[in-house]
């Protein structure tokens, strides 16, 4: 691909930032309030719009219900639009209430299952008001001990709830089913891996897709392989980007394992370049979202770096010499193929990205722009930052 084509593709890139990444969050030990951190959803939307103004590729913000609950979502939608962004995926919360100790939609008690399902359906109504396309579903459901509950029963309860939600989705709405190996449950998790999420998605219907969170796998899992498989099956709904070393660490994406992020974008680029129109359409609908918990970082800096790390990974993946790569693959030149890909990984794309930003009237150095911005001065001056909610494993 020549530079102009790469730049054109980079201008199309989109990363959704999460409202909860702008507020104070912590570990189970302590939440350290950060100066200037957003505490209301209105402020979180302002911060998201600011990150978009610095990068040009973060045009939407994901919401979490009830953390971001407001009286009138059309007012919030207008607030976002006035600031130049959209409201993105709606993330229901069926893990915070005391009744969910034994599960939400898989709880042995029918009344608890009904309550959880009703919350999901309420979130579908929220989607209609916010104009969101996606409902992102993560369940903390699971058990801690062998014998604790009937696994097949729970699978059927889960299916029932997902089906009900699916059938209520708006015309072009989607539900993204997120899986996670463990935590908070440590014996079994009802949606432990992509296979389970996929199994439910294909049985439920077209609008059900799989969500891949980078922190939700066993150590050593080849995530890019999962991505390529789901893409080929037409069921890759989206990503929750973050970085980890140990478990679901939710650190800034691209910091602990930049090669993994690059490898994922390489799968994306190859799907975008594929002759199959169906595949190209499918990959164009994938939602690239960040899901992080910023505990000691400056919230705006963390989000900016996350978005820019995704941009760099995509730029590198776009710069692979695919003609040479195809040739090497066909000739069985295994190490040459590896070197072609690694050449792109090591390429310094920062000058290209600076050029791209200048062309789009964006700040050439977004970090300096953040530091010197009126927005930063304003939030440091005006925000009390007393909210220390949201300290949960995400």
Q: Which residues bind Zn ion (CB under 5 A)?
A: 213, 215, 240, 242, 248, 250, 291, 394
Residue in 52, 64, 174, 294 binding ligand AOS, rule: CB under 6 A: 64
Structure token digits, residue 383 = 């925000």
Burial class (CB in 10 A: 0-12, 13-18, 19+), 263: buried
Q: Which is nearer to Zn ion, 53 or 93 (CB)?
A: 93
The partner in contact with residue 100, picked from ligand AOS, Zn ion, none with C-beta cut-offs of 5 to 8 angstroms by kind, is: none
Of ligand AOS, Zn ion, none, which one sits near residue 91, judging by CB under 5 to 8 A according to partner kind?
A: ligand AOS
Minimum Å gap between C-beta 65 and ligand AOS is: 9
Q: From ligand AOS, Zn ion, none, which one binds at residue 64 (CB under 5 to 8 Å depending on kind)?
A: ligand AOS
Orientation angle between helical segments 334-346 and 322-330, nearest 10 degrees: 160
Please tell me whether residue 134 binds ligand AOS under the rule CB under 6 A.
Answer: no
Name the pairing type of β-strands 142-143 and 174-178: unpaired
Q: How far is the CB of 222 from ligand AOS (least distance, A)?
A: 20
Interaction between residue 178 and ligand AOS (CB under 6 A): yes
Distances (CA, A) of 131 to 76, 87, 126, 236: 11, 7, 8, 21
Q: Using DSSP bridges, classify how beta strands 188-189 and 142-143 pair: parallel, antiparallel or unpaired.
A: antiparallel
Q: How far is the CB of 203 from ligand AOS (least distance, A)?
A: 22
| Pairing mode, strands 174-178 and 134-137 | parallel
Q: Which residue is nearest to ligand AOS (CB)?
A: 394
CA-wise closest residue to 107 among 142, 147, 152: 142
Distance in Å, CB of 248 to Zn ion, minimum? 4
Kindly identify the residues of this chain, within the stretch 179-198, that bind ligand AOS according to CB under 6 A: 180
Q: For the packed helices 151-168 and 194-204, what is the interaxial angle rounded to 10 degrees?
A: 50
Task: Select from 68, 248, 260, 387 the one that contacts ligand AOS (CB under 6 A).
Answer: 248
DSSP 30-72: ---PPTT-B-SHHHHHHHHHHHHHHHS---EEEEEETTT--S-
Instruction: Check residue 394 for interaction with ligand AOS (CB under 6 A).
Output: yes
Residues that bind ligand AOS (CB under 6 A): 20, 64, 91, 138, 178, 180, 213, 240, 248, 291, 393-394
């Amino acid at each position: 691909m020549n530079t102009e084509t790469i730049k054109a593709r980079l201008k199309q890139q989109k990363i959704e930032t999460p409202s909860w990444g702008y507020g104070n969050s912590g570990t189970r030990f302590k939440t350290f309030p950060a100066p200037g951190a957003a505490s209301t959803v209105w402020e979180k939307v302002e911060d998201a719009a600011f990150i978009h103004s610095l990068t040009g590729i973060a045009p939407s913000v994901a919401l979490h219900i009830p953390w971001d609950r407001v009286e009138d979502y059309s007012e919030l939608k207008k607030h976002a639009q006035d600031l130049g962004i959209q409201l993105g995926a709606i993330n229901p919360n069926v893990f915070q209430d005391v009744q969910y100790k034994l599960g939400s939609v898989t709880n042995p008690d029918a009344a608890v299952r009904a309550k959880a399902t009703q919350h999901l359906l309420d979130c579908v109504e929220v989607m209609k008001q916010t104009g969101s396309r996606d409902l992102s579903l993560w369940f903390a459901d699971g058990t801690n001990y062998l014998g604790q509950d009937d696994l097949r029963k729970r699978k059927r309860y889960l299916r029932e709830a997902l089906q009900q939600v699916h059938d209520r989705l708006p015309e072009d709405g989607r539900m993204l089913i997120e899986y996670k190996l463990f935590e908070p449950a440590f014996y079994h998790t009802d949606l432990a891996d992509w296979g389970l999420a996929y199994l439910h998605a294909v049985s439920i219907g077209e609008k059900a897709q799989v969500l891949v969170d980078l922190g939700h796998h066993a150590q050593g899992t080849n995530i890019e392989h999962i991505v390529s498989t789901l893409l080929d099956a037409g069921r890759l709904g989206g990503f929750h980007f973050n970085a980890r070393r140990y478990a679901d660490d939710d650190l800034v994406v691209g910091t602990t394992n930049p090669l993994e992020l690059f490898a994922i974008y390489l799968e994306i680029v190859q799907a975008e370049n594929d002759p199959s129109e169906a595949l190209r359409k499918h990959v164009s609908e994938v939602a690239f979202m960040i899901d992080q918990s910023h505990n000691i970082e400056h919230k705006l800096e963390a989000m900016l770096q996350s978005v820019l790390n995704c941009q760099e990974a995509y730029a590198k993946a776009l710069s692979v010499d695919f003609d040479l790569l195809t040739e090497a693959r066909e000739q069985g030149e295994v190490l040459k193929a590896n070197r072609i890909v690694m050449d792109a990984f090591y390429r310094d794309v920062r000058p290209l990205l600076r050029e791209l930003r200048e062309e789009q009237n964006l700040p050439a150095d977004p970090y300096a722009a953040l530091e010197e911005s009126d927005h930063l001065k304003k939030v440091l001056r005006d925000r009390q930052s007393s909210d220390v909610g949201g300290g949960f494993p995400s």
